[in-house]
A and B are shown apart, each in its own frame.
Chain A
Amino acid sequence: MSKEFSMARQPVYILADTSGSMNGESIEAMRIRIPGIISAMKKSSVGMDADSIMLELITFNKSPQVECRLASLDGYPDVNINVDANSPSFFGEALRLLEARFAENAWPEDYDPLLIILTDGKFSDTMLSKMMIPRIKKLGFAKIIAGLSGVDTDGQILRDLADEILPIDRLDDVYVRQTIEQ
């Protein structure tokens, strides 16, 4: 595919945790939130070129997976988010994939990308997650946001990585539009 684009793109990456600990209310919250985030971003693109906001969705449990490669919000496919009920959360492996995808997708005219992490913060590959934090921060995301579901999360890895951590249901229309439009 040709990498020539006629306008500056606003890439957005969503990392969605689909590990066993997300089973139940957490995954339901995420299933509601992701289409809500997409809808909010579409509304914020009114007045801009609708093709300029591009979204890549990566899910992760014991292995990360690109569910949908960087694509325009127009006609963004419906994505089925399913939990792997017997799977830990290898967040470090997800960050490694994100780093690689960031490099593959990068285009000089792009605005600094946005990263949204949807998770309960319970990560199993502790050492790799911690070692990936400075590498992700060096990539140059405009903002790294964590939408947290559930309770009793340790949270240190997310606190060191994210610019902002808030409950997942606070990633509403108003918040997303304000973030995109900043």
Chain B
Amino acid sequence: MAELTNKGLVFGSDCISVRLDYAITESKTVTSGIGELSNKDFLELDVAAFLLGTPMSSKPMLADSSHAVFYNNHLSPCGSLKYSEVRIPASSGVAGSAKEKISANLETLPDSVSQIVFLAAIHNAHARQQSFSKFEGARVRIYDDDTNSEIMNLNLEEDMPTATGVEIARFCREENRWLFLPMGDGDAVGLEFYFCKYLDGLER
């Protein structure tokens, strides 16, 4: 349950989640006379959650890539973050849908984790020449699962049409509670940028 303090919203031992919903209107591949091609119109979004620690340096960083939960890594080492996906492909002119979710149990996160940052980005945005403006109705939401209450939502198409990646929000550990910090920082980047930022400390 959230409490409003002078710093903002603070959560205790809640389970929270980031949820991504968007429509799939095209198939991933099209067939031309010379074979299958990757479809530039295929819309694909990825959501991710990074568990950050603050070791010797003061800058929060990923301990290693296993602490990044996304489509290629469904479970954090501590088991507190879990990724799931439900995808219904488009067919016969009927739009499909994609739902991705990462659940986080704030209570079971180890002491070494000082922050969780939630991210979303377009898959292969540069190659497909896409920005969030292409994703009609795509929404990413942060939920308090214990109370099924929405904490935050972003309409990617309307709120950041020219961006391709976004730092949605972060939770920062404050003693035995978690301060929620909405961010909404969109940029023309992909997930690989955020990996560089939080693994190597390199930024564009």
Q: Do B4 and A86 touch across chains, with their CB atoms under 8 A apart? A: no
Q: A20-B158, A62-B185, A87-B160 are in contact. Are A128 and B9 (CB under 8 A)?
A: yes
The residues of B that contact A131 with a CB separation of less than 8 Å are 2, 4, 9
Q: Do B163 and A126 touch across chains, with their CB atoms under 8 A apart? A: no
User: What 0/1 pattern do residues 64 to 94 of B give for CB contact below 8 A with A?
Assistant: 0000000000000000000000000000000
Q: Do B159 and A87 touch across chains, with their CB atoms under 8 A apart? A: yes
The residues of B that contact A90 with a CB separation of less than 8 Å are 182, 184
Q: A20-B160, A85-B162, A88-B154 are in contact. Are A62 and B183 (CB under 8 A)?
A: yes
Count of chain B residues near A, Cβ 8 A = 24
The residues of B that contact A19 with a CB separation of less than 8 Å are 159
The residues of B that contact A96 with a CB separation of less than 8 Å are 8
Q: Do A127 and B154 touch across chains, with their CB atoms under 8 A apart? A: no
The reply on B26 being an interface residue by CB < 8 A is no
User: What 0/1 pattern do residues 151 to 182 of A give for CB contact below 8 A with B?
Assistant: 00000000000000000000000000000000
Q: Do A86 and B159 touch across chains, with their CB atoms under 8 A apart? A: yes
User: What 0/1 pattern do residues 122 to 155 of A give for CB contact below 8 A with B?
Assistant: 1011111001100000000000000000000000
Interface size class of A (residues with CB under 8 A): 20 to 34
Q: How far is the CA of A126 from the CA of B140 in the complex (A)?
A: 13
B151: nearest residue on chain A (CB-CB)? A127
The reply on A59 being an interface residue by CB < 8 A is no
The residues of A that contact B154 with a CB separation of less than 8 Å are 88, 124
Distance in angstroms from B193 CB to nearest chain A CB is: 15
Q: Do A86 and B163 touch across chains, with their CB atoms under 8 A apart? A: yes
Q: A88-B160, A89-B159 are in contact. Are A62 and B9 (CB under 8 A)?
A: no
The reply on B149 being an interface residue by CB < 8 A is yes
The reply on B186 being an interface residue by CB < 8 A is yes
User: What 0/1 pattern do residues 81 to 98 of A give for CB contact below 8 A with B?
Assistant: 000011111100100100
B1-21 contacts to A (CB < 8 Å): 2, 4, 8-9
The residues of B that contact A124 with a CB separation of less than 8 Å are 152-155, 159, 182, 184
The reply on B146 being an interface residue by CB < 8 A is no
Extra inter-chain contacts (16) besides given A62-B183, A88-B154, A126-B151, CB under 8 Å: A21-B158, A85-B162, A86-B162, A86-B187, A87-B160, A88-B160, A90-B184, A93-B8, A124-B152, A124-B155, A124-B159, A124-B182, A125-B151, A125-B152, A127-B2, A127-B151
